[in-house]
Amino acid sequence: MSALFQPYTLREVTIPNRVWMPPMCQYSAAPEGPLTGTPTDWHFAHYAARATGGTGLIIVEATAVSPEGRISPYDLGIWNDTQVEAFRRITRFLVGQGTVPAVQLAHAGRKASTDRPWKGGAPVGPQAHGWQPVGPSPVPFAEDHPVPVELTTQQIADIVGEFADAARRALAAGFEIAEIHGAHGYLIGNFLSPHSNHRTDEYGGSYENRTRFALEVVDAVRAVWPDDKPLFFRVSATDWLEDGGWTPDETVRFARELHAHGVDLLDVSTGGNASGVRIPVGPGYQVPFAARVKAETPMPVAAVGLITDVEQAEKILANGEADAVLLGRELLRNPSWARQAARETGAEVRVPDQYHRSV
């Protein structure tokens, strides 16, 4: 029996299979005006295609908890009710296809206010809808990035509140699962790593201090997120630095603490917080980090990173390296990957009635 097509239950939510879609920014929202950060027809079509293709869980792309928390001016947000109403159209359709809708709540930190990747991804200023990035310390991401403004403790508390408010809106928008974005060098990851966090107060220095902001966000979101619905956390398991960065050992320790604070699954990625590092990219290159968390902690995990073919994905699950697989670029190339995998493995996956043919 195919491991990919076994249902998976967390709290009171059952995901029909283990083929999941990770957050992937589309940079397709309006950059200004009353519809800033609001999902468009592109977002609806993009997510709907993967749902009709049989994907069990779709995590909507990084969705900012405030205008300043966007990666680019073209990112989605969930800081107002107009955005909530637009998201409802998407979540209703996904649920109707048997797909569980999830959303990643995010703040870009020092990597905010950049252009779209196909325009080069460079930092943008006010003349291009940009703004001043913030971070735990005045340490830029790279030489061509602006120095972020160091957050005060009051501003940190305000952002914690913004995550909680965003979670309330995500619930109103029909999402069944919320994920907190703590990876890829964005704000929470900035605090976790000594590479980007040079503070000397209660939010910097020791491991306990560097993880304080992340745990405050988790607690604030868990307090407003229903007990019957799961909460995920995405982490970069390593900065890929030889010294002075966030490490796999810290990830394992952190996973235990997140589990104790009510996080139900760790979405394990890597990198993004240090520019110019060498990453040994290859098929499944991040899976060992997920496997270690699963082996050494009580935390369920999802693996991501160049997982492309059915046999590879089946082995990850069958070997106990992860509880689910997240297919990013492969689902961009093939929205019906899940239905294709079901045919290859002899499993069953829901097919829309409109696609059934008697001949």
| Catalytic center residues | 186
Write the CB contacts of 96 (distance below 8 Å, at least 6 apart in sequence): none
Please name which of 278, 336, 264, 337 lies closest in space to residue 307, comparing C-alpha atoms.
Answer: 337
Write the CB contacts of 194 (distance below 8 Å, at least 6 apart in sequence): 210, 244, 245, 246
- Rounded to whole angstroms, how far apart are CA atoms 301 and 3? 15
Please name which of 193, 189, 217, 190 lies closest in space to residue 205, comparing C-alpha atoms.
Answer: 193
**137 and 198 Cβ atoms separated by less than 8 Å:** yes
Task: Tell me the DSSP string of 152-205.
Answer: PHHHHHHHHHHHHHHHHHHHHTT-SEEEEEE-TTSHHHHHH-TTT----STTSS
Q: What SS3 string covers 258-295?
A: HHHCCCCEEEEECCCCCCCCCCCCCCCCCHHHHHHHHH
Three-class DSSP category at 255: helix
**314 and 3 Cβ atoms separated by less than 8 Å:** yes
- Rounded to whole angstroms, how far apart are CA atoms 94 and 141? 36
Three-class DSSP category at 99: coil
